[in-house]
Structure 1
Amino acid sequence: MPESYQPPLRKDKNPEQTHSQSAETNLSMQKAVVVDVLKRKGDKVFSVRPQDGLQTAVESLRDNRIGALIVSDANGALLGILSERDIVRKLADAPGRTLGHKVEDIMTTRVETCTPDDPLVSVLRRMTEGRFRHMPVMDETGLIGIVTIGDVVNHRLIELEHEALQLKQLIVG
């Protein structure tokens, strides 16, 4: 006759029992930084030159399915950023004549940047307060990537899912 399953009792001792989590690991607060986003999304940056035509820039935005382009010189130095909003503003100012302009005519030249070590919460705050959605990431060597408000929000959603799973595992055991 087969034995039926009996759950472990308190008197049972299992010295080899392991725990994948502890109170320390579950309660530790790790600050997410910009480099965490870049690790997930990669460091690919699309750029244009200031003297390029707006038609070229618009096609690059469309073909790469992105919302902004870095404007750089021949050496890769950051000169500005060209966003969909910049283009929309020019469309409103010069209807029917927008695509004939050069990138340098409508790009944003005062560009907010961040570093790989900046906390994501501060980057998100700066984007929200400044009402922009794209931020180039710079280190001592120059431009190393770009983060968007969508990247930051997506990273936080993944963190929240992970935190919920940790809580569930803590409760279930």
Structure 2
Amino acid sequence: MTTTVRQVLDAKGGKAFCVAPGVTAFEALGLMAEHNIGAVLVTDNERLVGIFTERDYARKVVLKGLRSTDVSVRELMTTSPATVGMDQTVDEVMNIMTEKRFRHLPVLDDGRIAGIISIGDVVKSVIDQQRRTISHLSNYIAGDIAT
């Protein structure tokens, strides 16, 4: 059985943390630290305009000697981020993440933000599916041996 993005979000909870483009990197990082997440979506009137990640911070603030309290998310975010839909499979998401080297992808449902899926979510889903397959095969083999 193929796992979909919808199933992953249902299992983990579909909450996506969002910030406005004008907040400082420091404020966005505080939200990320508070919720132990690696990315926030950047929205303007509930419309997705970007994504701000730990990688954006490291490459655009730390390496350039900027101060996180002085620079806005708007200046650092990835604009027009790639997105995935609720009915896409985990395999499709994994391929996108691998090919494009993304660690987080916003999830849209009919154009509205439904959540965010991370590489960790994808790996967990794949491992869970493998565990279910192993369990199913073990039960099948045990049933065959008993009869």
TM-score by length of 2: 0.93
Give the Cα–Cα distance (whole angstroms) in 2 for the partners of residues 110 and 85 of structure 1.
Answer: 16
Q: Cα RMSD (Å) of the superposition?
A: 1.1
Q: Which runs of 5+ in 2 are unaligned?
A: none
Query: 1:133 maps to what in 2?
Result: 103
Q: How many angstroms apart in 2 are the aligned matches of 1:81 and 1:69?
A: 6
Q: How does 1:5-154 map to 2 (within 5 A)?
A: 30-73=1-44, 75-90=45-60, 91-95=62-66, 97-154=67-124
* Rounded Cα–Cα distance in structure 1 between residues aligned with 2:54 and 2:24: 15
Runs of 5+ consecutive residues of structure 1 not aligned to the other structure: 1-29
The alignment of Structure 1 onto Structure 2 pairs a total of residues equal to: 142
TM-score, length basis structure 1: 0.79
Q: Quote how far apart the aligned CAs of 1:93 are.
A: 1.2
Question: Whole-Å Cα distance in 1 between the matches of residues 2 and 132 of structure 2?
Answer: 14
Runs ≥4 residues deviating over 4 A = none
Q: Return the alpha-carbon distance in structure 1 between the equivalents of residues 35 and 68 of structure 2.
A: 21
Q: Which residue of 1 aligns with 2:133?
A: 163
Q: Which has the higher contact order (CA 8 A, sep 6+)?
A: 2
Match of 1:26 in 2: none
Distance between the aligned counterparts of 1:169 and 1:149, measured in 2? 30
Q: CA deviation at 1:54?
A: 1.2
Bigger Cα Rg: 1
Greater fraction helix: 2
Cα displacement (A) at 1:145: 0.9
